[in-house]
Amino acid sequence: MGVKRIGQGLCWLLLAGMVLCWRPLLAGLPVDSRGIAAQSYEGWAGVLRVWVCGGWQPGYGSFIPWLNQQAARFEKRHPGVYLQMEPVEADVLCAFGQADPAPDGLLFAPGMLPSGQGLCPLEEPAGLRTELRGAGWWEEDTVAVAVAMGGYAWALNRTLVDQVPLDWAQLETPQPVKQTPRYLMQVPAEEPYRCWPAVLDALCAPRRVTLDGEALGQAEAQIDLGLPQDPSASPTPQPQTYLALCSLPLSLPENFLEGDDFYTGFTQGVYGAIPVTQREIRRLQLLSQSGRAPDWTVAAGGAAFTDQLLLLAVPRTNRQDGAAREALMEDFLTFLLEEDAQQALTSIRALRVTQGGPLYVGDQGMEELEQSTLGVLRPVSAFDTQYRAQGRAQAQRLVAAARAAAASLADSP
């Protein structure tokens, strides 16, 4: 019995020692990043002001309803913290460094800020789409991260064009009806935050096709990475392919790439195909509900491109509580990329920027637009000042070639 009691006593002493030491032991364990970030603003309370200047529009016209909805959810997670979304003009947003007090966050489109000076380095969340990583780089730091995006695709009037051809020049130009000339394609003039010439260049990009002219999907057009193969497995036969170049229709409107009648002309049957975003698709959906829309559909072009990004950045601040404000804004960035927030983008008709399932299954036009961006996406960087000139030059080359071919055909006997 004596030995037994001695053993029990030793066990109790060991247990008491563990209880006394548990706090130091826990302090040595790794802490998740959310816990580390929370320590930066623990106990902070106040208002965080976020300037919003999206430039481009989601399908329902404004980002504010989605942002306010997510802000309310974020505030419940952080008692005493309030987010105030303030719509501002582009010139005001560009002068954020001179504002007093300075905003705590900026939501903006590519091309608005000339550089990333005055912005805090950020961590790119793990769930962000691979193609969007680096969209907010400035001098080797990530200073802005996309939280929502829009896309581009062709809208087709099926009475004139029933599918996107490999080469528009091979289609017969529609004949005039009742003295109204019709054209296979129209593209609008360049806008501040939607570079239509660059869109045209992407939608008419070369496509990989089989020898019988069938365009390959993304899954079928995978690049051979040179990885070791199982020698016992039978090789999957690969179709012979070639790169199909694309030309514009031989007959183009006088105001091609210069006018603003592309949507009206499309709905009136003057144009067979126009590039559209989620905004024009929503207008076509409403027109269909009223029974006044043409027989329309949406289809992908040659390459997925977008300059429609809503980017979040956090300005540097010299305030006494600046570290807490910056940490909270970075936490809000992570919050906007969580799955619940990304799924809620359907409330404004925008596209997700994270990896995940489709948002618009069965939604006419939006489903096709979303699918068109799921391949290898070519996004514009936040501070890119060259893509407009490059897109303009490429579009002008396509137009010049089409007009030259049309003139040559007209001169031939």
Q: Round to whole Å and give the CA distance between 121 and 258.
A: 40
Nearest to 74 by CA among 313, 331, 312, 351: 331
Nearest to 48 by CA among 88, 74, 76, 81: 81
Which comes out higher in pLDDT, residue 168 or 34? 168
Q: Is the pLDDT of residue 93 over 50?
A: yes
Q: Provide the pLDDT confidence category of residue 318 given band limits of 50, 70 and 90.
A: confident
- Residue 365's identity, in one-letter code, is G
Q: Is the pLDDT of residue 236 over 90?
A: no
Q: Helices 322-336 and 64-77 meet at what angle, rounded to 10?
A: 120
Q: Are 284 and 296 in contact (CB under 8 A)?
A: yes
Beta bridge partners of 182: none
Between CA 193 and CA 197, with CA 196 as vertex, the angle to 5 degrees is: 125
Q: Provide the pLDDT confidence category of residue 165 given band limits of 50, 70 and 90.
A: very high
pLDDT score for 395: 96
What value does the mean pLDDT take over residues 298-322?
A: 94
pLDDT score for 28: 44
Q: Is the pLDDT of residue 273 over 50?
A: yes
What value does the mean pLDDT take over residues 287-299?
A: 97
What value does the mean pLDDT take over residues 398-405?
A: 95
Q: Is the pLDDT of residue 7 over 80?
A: no
For residue range 9-51, list pLDDT tens digits in order: 555 556 555 545 544 443 444 444 444 555 667 889 999 999 9
Percent over 90 (pLDDT), the chain: 72
Beta strands in 292-347, from DSSP E residues, in sequence order: 296-299, 304-306, 309-313
Nearest to 389 by CA among 185, 144, 111: 111
Residues making up the chain, counted from first to last: 413
Q: Round to whole Å and give the CA distance between 215 and 242.
A: 10
Distances from the Cα of 273 to the Cα of 182, 196, 248, 252, angstroms:
11, 14, 11, 12
For residue range 105-138, list pLDDT tens digits in order: 999 999 999 999 999 999 988 899 999 999 999 9
Provide the whole-model pTM: 0.84
Judged by average pLDDT, the poorest of 269-273, 333-337, 339-343, 405-409 is 405-409
What value does the mean pLDDT take over residues 232-240?
A: 64
What value does the mean pLDDT take over residues 163-174?
A: 89
pLDDT score for 249: 96
Beta strands in 139-270, from DSSP E residues, in sequence order: 141-142, 145-149, 153-157, 183-185, 207-210, 241-244
Q: Is the pLDDT of residue 182 over 70?
A: yes
Nearest to 342 by CA among 42, 112, 132: 132
Q: Are 402 and 167 in contact (CB under 8 A)?
A: no
Mean pLDDT of the chain: 87
pLDDT score for 229: 46
pLDDT score for 29: 43
pLDDT score for 228: 45
What value does the mean pLDDT take over residues 86-95?
A: 96
Q: Give 109's contacts (C-beta < 8 A, 6+ positions apart).
A: 53, 54, 55, 56, 193, 307, 308, 309, 310, 311
pLDDT score for 411: 75
Percent over 70 (pLDDT), the chain: 82
Which DSSP helix (H) or strand (E) runs through 138?
strand 137-138
Q: Is the pLDDT of residue 84 over 90?
A: yes
Select, from the ranges 199-208, 214-223, 226-235, 280-289, the one with the highest average predicted confidence (pLDDT): 280-289
pLDDT score for 227: 38
Q: Provide the pLDDT confidence category of residue 230 given band limits of 50, 70 and 90.
A: low
